[in-house]
Amino acid sequence: MSGPTRREVFLMTGAAMVPASAVAQETPRRGGILTVHFATEQRILNPSLQASTGVYIVGGKIQEPLVDIDGAGNPTPVLAESWESTPDGRAITFKLRQGVTWHDGRPFTSADVQFTAMEMWKKILNYGTALQQFLTAVDTPDAHTAIFRYERPMPLGLLLRALPDLGYVSPKHIYEGTDIRQNPANTAPIGTGPFKFLQYERGQHIIAERNPNYWRNGMPYLDRVVWRVVTDRAAAAAQMEAGQILFSPYSSLALADLTRLSRDPRFAVTTRGNEGNARTNTIEFNFRRPELADIRVRKAIAHAINIPFFIENFLGTYAKPGTGPIPSVSTDYYTPGSPQYGFDRALANRLLDEAGHRRGAGGVRFSLRLSPAPWGEDISLFATFIQQSLGEVGIRVEIVRLDAAGFLRTVYNDHNFDLASGWHQYRNDPAVSTTVWYRSGSPQGAPWTNQFGWTDAAIDRVIDDAATEVDPAKRRALYGEFVTRVQNELPVWMPIEQIFLSVFNRRMRNAGNTPRWASSSWHDTWLAP
Amino acid sequence: MKLLALAARRLAASLPALLLILIGLFLLLQLAPGDTVDALMAQMGGGDAAIAADLRRFYGLDLSVTARLGAYLWRLVTLDLGFSAIYGKPVASVILERLPATLLLMMSALFFAFSFGMALGVVAARRVNQWPDTLISTLGLIFYATPSFWFGLMAIVVFSVYLQWLPAGGFGDVAMGYTGWAAIWDTATYLVLPVLTLALIFLAIALRIMRASMLEVQGMDFVRTARAKGLSETRIVARHVLRNALLPMVTLIGLQAGTMLGGSVVVESVFTLPGLGRLAYESVVQRDLNTLLGIVFVSALLVIAVNFVVDLLYARLDPRIAG
């Protein structure tokens, strides 16, 4: 490819929002209140119990993980100061930070890590239960050493990439001996982070204030963080313009408002700070429909949809064509050169003819029901685009719209769909939430897993081998093999890559400077006057 | 004493309807695909099937529909509204937190809509077919035809974003921590736009009803008698016409108190007010049956109460009705 892509141009403009020289010269200013858009209210705020962006945006400032990701995308110490693995990958030792206290004054020790890992990550935390399924024990030889013992080898790279999201620590003394799911600290979290929980008014706001005993000296700079619950997207955009909200994370505004705000000099609309939160748009095929179990039909559907046209006209600079389940932001595991399906309507028609689906009355070959997931304007637009594109090659598509609970139940439990379209979230390592889309044997009702009726012994073996392969080079090769095979078989097509968008008020400094900034602790963030 | 007996009789008459509504809603929600655990899974961004099964046990969803309905109705007898799945606390306290904002919004909007609607209706009727009537009637038509979400957003754009006179949304300034009169003034500034938005459509209806009923009463015999007695026009309107023309208006208040509770979902969302409308919407999306049934229960009680007051007003306005 010659010249920079749209995404690169976009990222460059994002990076240019605050000139690097200006940042270097400016001295951080203490004080101020950062107001944040909170679009979907959560049942709990404790990130040791629920792994989702809606929890990190609040809980991630109050509680801290063992490890985070730095600006260059590498694991960086937070509550763990260092780590090492035995060569067989069965014991991983974390040296914990000393002199850290919980917000209630008790010291943070290895017992907290042990309790959180065994009782929360392994038993309750979504994605944590799968990641830690072979964790047998956490040994605590002293107050600042935690040794994770695994029944099967745990690749250190996988654990370190998963822990920023799945490694938040909760206080043992608050949770021990209680019903963890009902503990009041779930909505009034107690952590070690730069901000202390103060107040949660349901439907209105959450307030956290500066932790004066924070272990990073002199931090945080902000006095308070206030999350305002605004469910109406147009209203949220208006509140940003009125200055009532300074930061809107995770693409929570309408596409039209994002375009408008990006032209306003007061705001920066950018993917910066979300590079660790990539997602791909999916087309999921139900193999229980005989037509879709035929590889020629799946390929024909892919060839019938003009992805670059759709992106150019509907998503603009905020998306780019995807090449498979592992998005290009994943520098470690992205595999270029896998089989691709460019727009070719003649080829699509030929494939459908070959598959024996002749055009009948009105030029229709057969009909399919398409269920778009209800999150994201882009999914809804994409569904309409798929409907029209497939109509051109003689496949009549009926769009079945459902709300969140209805979508999950209908698609992933009842399997009552032909095509489904939604998002796949890539969480920094394919083993966290990507390979489950392809691994067979996932129990019925587990959302965002292979519920398509597709089984492939070879892919299952590659996935299992990669999940326990401790040699990074071999792991990378296995994921290369994985991508090539699923792109050939196409049980799920992931043709669009997106990164969440943030809208920053330009008064914000040190904002978006790490790949998971929106989820991170904001200890060094400050506000210019 | 007579009043209390009347109130008790009213409540008793409404109970069967209330029970039917609650049972109907319970069964209706069983037809919606997915349960509160599916909604939670969607919010979490995924989780394995063992977690889901565990959560279903936690929320009591592993029991049969009849068992859950029976348990719910039995708890209702003891005035226990149950436990909210989304909020993790008793439904009664969740609703109690939201009630002030809803009541404040509803009462202010009703008051505004009917006082201004009445005044404008009277003016229009007295100047019928002259320019004030045409102006008022046209304005009424515009208010009536404008969807409230659009009106709300436009009000935000004009008054909050451009003029910066009023806050764009919320229910009081959380950062400043006002107390006393300052807090009341602060809340009032946050309420201006949502109250106007909610009230305008009702104002339009009220002024049309008022105008029509004024015109009707003006042509009646007793008004001609009053004129023949030589009473001043103002006195005729105030003492004779207005009082009789108010009856349909009072009926309207009773009817619209209910509508306004539901209609405020849009206004609450646009202005991010923590009211019952948004809570109800959220409960449907999250399949939080207990909370939704609790809201229906409380709303029904509110509507019953308003209609009771309306009945009392009838009797006051027209002594022939009291009986």
ipTM metric: 0.79
Environment class of A142 (CB within 10 Å of its CB; exposed 0-12, middle 13-18, buried 19+): exposed
How confident is the model over A153-168, as a mean pLDDT? 94
pLDDT at A487: 95
Query: Are the CB atoms for B276 and B125 separated by under 8 Å?
Result: no
Q: Could you read off the pLDDT of B87-118 as tens digits, one per residue?
A: 888 899 888 888 888 888 888 888 898 899 98
pLDDT at B33: 85
The fraction of chain A above a pLDDT of 70, given in percent, is 95
Contact criterion met (CB < 8 Å) for A202 and B285: no
Structure tokens at A374: 């209800």
Alpha-helical runs (H) found in A104-213:
110-115, 128-131, 156-166, 172-175
Q: Could you read off the pLDDT of A60-109 as tens digits, one per residue?
A: 999 999 999 998 888 999 999 999 999 999 999 999 999 999 999 999 99
CA distance A305 to A159: 37
Which stretches of A154-218 are assigned E, i.e. beta strand? 195-201, 205-210
- Chain A hits for B170, CB-CB cut-off 8 Å, are 204-205, 228, 244
Query: Are the CB atoms for A195 and A225 separated by under 8 Å?
Result: yes
Considering only the beta carbons, identify the residue of A203, A234, A425 that sits closest to B45. Answer: A425
Question: Distances in Å between the alpha carbon of A44 and those of A112, A116, A166, B79, B86?
Answer: 20, 16, 15, 27, 9
pLDDT at A6: 40
The fraction of chain B above a pLDDT of 90, given in percent, is 1
Strand A278-285, strand A419-421: pairing: antiparallel
Query: Are the CB atoms for B257 and B302 separated by under 8 Å?
Result: yes
pLDDT at A10: 41
pLDDT at A88: 93
SS3 category, A441: coil
CA distance A372 to B317: 56
pLDDT at A97: 96
Nearest C-alpha of chain B: how many angstroms from A195? 16
CA distance A121 to A170: 10
Q: Could you read off the pLDDT of A247-305 as tens digits, one per residue?
A: 999 989 998 899 899 999 999 999 999 988 899 999 999 999 999 999 999 999 999 99
pLDDT at A283: 96
Question: Distances in Å between the alpha carbon of A366 and those of A341, A466, B187?
Answer: 22, 39, 59
Q: Which of residues 172-211 of A touch B (CB under 8 A)?
A: 181-182, 186-187, 201-205, 207
Q: Could you read off the pLDDT of B145-183 as tens digits, one per residue?
A: 888 888 888 888 888 888 888 888 777 766 666 777 777
Q: Could you read off the pLDDT of A448-503 as tens digits, one per residue?
A: 889 999 999 999 999 999 999 999 999 999 999 999 999 999 999 999 999 999 99
- Please name the amino acid found at residue A487: Q
Nearest C-alpha of chain A: how many angstroms from B255? 28
Phi/psi of residue A33, nearest 5 degrees: -115, 125
Q: What is the largest CA-CA distance in chain B?
A: 86
pLDDT surpasses 60 at A5: no
SS3 category, B128: coil
CA distance B306 to B256: 10
Phi/psi of residue A82, nearest 5 degrees: -155, 165
**Confidence tier at A346 by pLDDT (50, 70, 90):** very high
Lowest mean per-residue pLDDT among A413-422, A455-464, B193-202: B193-202
Whether the bond into A220 is cis, omega within 30 of 0: yes
**Confidence tier at B321 by pLDDT (50, 70, 90):** low
Pick among A40, A41, A121, A126 to test the B interface (most B CBs inside 10 A): A126
pLDDT surpasses 90 at A140: yes
CA distance B71 to B74: 5
pLDDT at B165: 87
Query: Are the CB atoms for A290 and A471 separated by under 8 Å?
Result: no
The fraction of chain A above a pLDDT of 90, given in percent, is 75
Structure tokens at B156: 């935000």
- Chain B hits for A425, CB-CB cut-off 8 Å, are 45-46
The beta-carbon contacts of B229-235 under 8 Å, at least 24 apart in sequence, are none
Sign of CA pseudo-dihedral A508, A514, A520, A525: negative
Q: Could you read off the pLDDT of A230-256 as tens digits, one per residue?
A: 988 888 998 999 888 999 999 899 988
Chain B contact for A447 (CB, 8 A cutoff): yes
pLDDT at A12: 38
Nearest C-alpha of chain B: how many angstroms from A337? 30
Pick among B35, B51, B176, B193 to test the A interface (most A CBs inside 10 A): B51
Nearest C-alpha of chain B: how many angstroms from A7? 26
Sign of CA pseudo-dihedral A526, A62, A270, A403: negative
User: Distance between the two ends of chain A, CA-based, in angstroms?
Assistant: 43
pLDDT at A324: 92
Structure tokens at A186: 């779930």
Of the candidates A173, A75, A175, the residue with the CA atom closest to the CA atom of residue A125: A175
Nearest C-alpha of chain B: how many angstroms from A242? 5
Considering only the beta carbons, identify the residue of B42, B153, B175 that sits closest to A234. Answer: B153
CA distance A214 to A193: 7
CB atoms within 10 A of CB B262: 12
Pick among B38, B62, B284, B287 to test the A interface (most A CBs inside 10 A): B38
Of the candidates B82, B81, B64, B69, the residue with the CA atom closest to the CA atom of residue B24: B69
Of the candidates A249, A99, A96, the residue with the CA atom closest to the CA atom of residue A169: A96
**Confidence tier at B274 by pLDDT (50, 70, 90):** confident
CA distance A180 to B166: 43
Query: Are the CB atoms for A42 and A56 separated by under 8 Å?
Result: no
Query: Are the CB atoms for B235 and B148 separated by under 8 Å?
Result: no
